[in-house]
Amino acid sequence: MIEQYIPVFIVIIVAVIFAVATVVMSKLMGPQRPNSEKESTYESGLKPIGTTNERVSIKYYLVAMLFIVFDLEVIFVYPWAVQFKKLYSQIGISIFFSMLVFLVVLELGFLYVYKKGGFKWD
């Protein structure tokens, strides 16, 4: 069964050789005349200001956290939607209301975050 992976290994080997070769060859063959202009950080022709390690504002984390939580709930909706017709014929309308309850609870949480100012951007 390992034989089936031979093409994959070949691709990996070729990719590594190509990547290493390009970097090494350009170093070896290209002319090298460094000066201070060339060595400085490229900032679209402007003078570079400050460090590159800018601390990211906390607001992004807040939004990211809320995104994770509300985004993941959709994994419960997908299987439900895919199987809805089958389940509807088996169980009846209660399958619809069970998801409705889930979404109402979720939306209440969303509303809570909104009312508490979780989405304010200043």
Q: Enumerate binding residues for another protein (CB under 8 A).
A: 1, 4, 58, 61, 65-66, 68-69, 71-73, 75-76, 79, 94, 105, 108-109, 111-112, 115-116
DSSP letter (8 states) at residue 73: T
Could you give the C-alpha distances from 95 to 12, 36, 83, in angstroms and in order?
Answer: 49, 70, 10
Q: Nearest CA to 119 among 70, 73, 62, 74?
A: 62
Nearer to another protein, 8 or 108 (CB): 108
Cβ 66 to another protein shortest distance, Å: 8
Q: Identify which of residues 18 and 119 has a Cβ nearer to another protein in the complex.
A: 119
Instruction: Closer to another protein by CB, 18 or 76: give it.
Output: 76
Check: CB of residue 102 under 8 Å from CB of residue 76: yes
